[in-house]
Amino acid sequence: MTDKYAVIGNPVAHSKSPLIHAEFARQTGQDISYIAVLAPPDGFRAAVLAFRDAGGRGINVTLPFKHEAWNLATAHRGYAFNAGAVNTFEFRGSEIIGHNTDGIGLVRDIKENLGCSIQGRRVLLMGAGGASYGVMEPLLREQPGEIAVANRTVDKAVTLVAYFEKFQTFALRGVTARPYAGLRGAQFDVLINATSAGLSGEMPPLPGDIFAPDALAYDMVYGRTTPFLEFARAQGARAADGIGMLVEQAAEAFFIWRSVRPQTASLIAMLRKA
Ligand code: NAP
């Protein structure tokens, strides 16, 4: 029998996850179906439970439901423990097991696909939503020289940093919350845009001299040239969109569900070309 999976979000029509999982299934000979489900802002829980009760085996969660997903999970595994955000559900009997594969996907893309080291480097993380929570611990485990977390609503960046300060399992050295205006005069080696600004053709207000020589500008938004990536290129930085992260986090979710690890390189190249 075909095992059913889905991605749930709002909006979700733009999601490439159905295409990616169909390709993983073809590549590995797994018998699965994978659809996109639009949940109303107040209907996430109902949509998840309806999908599970109709025989669903697992779900990917996208914006803006990753915090709500953490609360809905009955158990947390791996990076989901500390993240306070879940992007992958695995249904086992009555258990809703929450995982977070976003950080693994981001770090794998930056280090392995883009060949950019994080250790000892100055990292700027823009945004304090579900995606930022998901990537904090994996980024910290790479032992960067510093992580500055900047957000439009500064209080949310302060809350995020305070949230991770609770955990003693990894060092929280050199992590600060900043308003964008407080970045003047600072330079970073790896700049990660974890905001959804690019979806509406906007970018966080960054000073022009923020890119260190050989800096990598990474936008989690994919499938379009965002104002942040255009700005970064104009300043001489190397720019990458989030397609590699998307495929890598999906591969990790596929592995959790199916115990088979799909190949990612050819799919990333194909999606980037498209
Ligand atoms: P979210 O929880 O809705 O958070 C959105 C964040 O973006 C908030 O920090 C918000 O700031 C900020 N923001 C929105 N518009 C802005 C603007 N015009 N200027 C400055 N900041 C702005 O979303 P999320 O789940 O964290 O996801 C964020 C983005 O990452 C989404 O576009 C998502 O598609 C993408 N993503 C991609 C991947 C991938 O695999 N490539 C994985 C995860 C997420 P405020 O707090 O001030 O509102």
Domain boundaries, the chain: 3-100+245-273, 103-107+116-241
Distance CA 139, CA 22 (A): 29
Number of C-beta neighbours around residue 44 at 10 A: 21
Catalytic residues: 66
Span from the CA of 198 to the centroid of ligand 1 (angstroms) = 9
Distance from Cα 221 to the centre of ligand 1, integer Å:
8
Q: Looking at ligand 1, which atom is closest to the CA of residue 67?
A: 2
**Nearest atom, ligand 1, residue 243 CA:** 41
Question: What pLDDT shows up at residue 166?
Answer: 79
| Cα–Cα dist 151/125, whole Å | 9
Domain 3-100+245-273 shares a fold with domain 103-107+116-241: yes
Q: Which residues are CB-neighbours of 124 under 8 A, at least 6 positions away?
A: 147, 148, 150, 183, 186, 188, 190, 191, 192, 210
pLDDT recorded at residue 169: 57
**103-107+116-241 maps to which CATH number?**
3.40.50.720
Q: Provide block-wise average pLDDT over 10 residues at a time, the chain (274 residues).
A: 96 94 98 98 98 98 96 97 95 97 98 97 96 95 94 97 77 85 97 96 96 98 94 97 98 98 96 89
Residue whose C-alpha is closest to residue 66's, from 85, 44, 43: 85
Q: Which of 3.40.50.10900, 3.40.50.20, 3.90.650.10, 3.40.50.10860 is the CATH number of 3-100+245-273? A: 3.40.50.10860
- CA–centroid distance, 184 to ligand 1, in Å, is 22
Give the strands of the sheet with 146-150, arranged side by side: 175-178, 146-150, 122-126, 188-193, 211-219, 238-240
d(CA 218, CA 207): 16
**246 CB less than 6 Å from ligand 1?**
yes
Q: Is 196 in the pocket of ligand 1 (CB under 6 A)?
A: yes
250 lines ligand 1 (CB under 6 A): no
Centre of ligand 1 to C-alpha 220, Å, is: 8
Tallying the residues shown for the chain, one arrives at 274
Structure tokens at 59: 């779900």
Atom of ligand 1 nearest to the CA of 102: 42
**Would the CB of 183 count as within 6 Å of ligand 1?**
no
Give me the pLDDT at residue 174, please. 85
